[in-house]
């Protein structure tokens, strides 16, 4: 008896339904593309609003002395002491609220750009104090971690200016 060869019919790879893991990954990517920048904007707003809120209470902010010292140098002594701390508190509150609500976001981002320059300047202005013997103090580390805020602000600003995530073609990966 001879066996008759049979042709197995299989669906082309593109026509096969994706397995549950691939569907979950695709759905997660869609949700992240749609919402992650908003989550970043809101969390950034909460952090900056928290920074600002602490500055309304003398002695509550670990950055209070650094704020006073930096503002004094940047304004050539015109703004110093409590005025520097309260001014920074007001600025941080404004930025935090614009990020949280999305209302006036572009104006808030402009204010944030100036604020980011200001919070990073102690590294330049007080290099010797922040890096005695070439190693960063706790205060320097406090300032240097703000690089993360700069990166987050860049992502939020890109979205506010019209940038959008585009899902990659799964065939290209």
> What is the residue extent of each domain of the chain?
62-162
Neighbours of 124 (CB within 10 A): 8
Percent of the chain with pLDDT over 90: 72
Taking the model in full, what pTM does it have? 0.81
Cα 116 to the center of its chain, rounded Å:
11
The region that residue 162 occupies, defined by phi over 0 for left and psi between -120 and 50 for alpha, beta otherwise, is: left
80 vs 85: CA distance, rounded Å: 8
Neighbours of 21 (CB within 10 A): 8
Q: In terms of pLDDT, which residue wins out, 169 or 37?
A: 37
89 vs 107: CA distance, rounded Å: 17
């Amino acid at each position: 008896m001879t066996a008759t060869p049979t042709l197995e019919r299989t669906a082309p790879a593109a026509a096969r339904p994706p397995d549950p893991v691939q569907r979950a990954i695709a759905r997660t990517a869609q949700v992240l593309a749609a919402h992650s920048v908003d989550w970043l904007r809101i969390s950034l707003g909460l952090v900056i609003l928290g920074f600002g809120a602490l500055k309304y209470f003398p002695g509550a902010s670990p950055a209070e002395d650094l704020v006073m010292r930096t503002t004094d140098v940047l304004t050539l002594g015109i703004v110093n002491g409590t005025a520097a701390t309260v001014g920074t508190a007001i600025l941080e509150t404004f930025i935090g609220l614009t990020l949280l609500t999305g209302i006036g976001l572009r104006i808030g981002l402009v204010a944030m750009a100036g604020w980011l320059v200001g919070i990073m300047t102690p590294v330049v202005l007080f290099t010797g104090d922040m890096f005695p013997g070439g190693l960063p103090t706790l205060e320097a580390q406090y300032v240097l971690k703000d690089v993360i805020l700069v990166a987050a602000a860049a992502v939020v600003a890109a979205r506010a200016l019209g940038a959008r995530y585009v899902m990659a073609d799964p065939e290209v990966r």
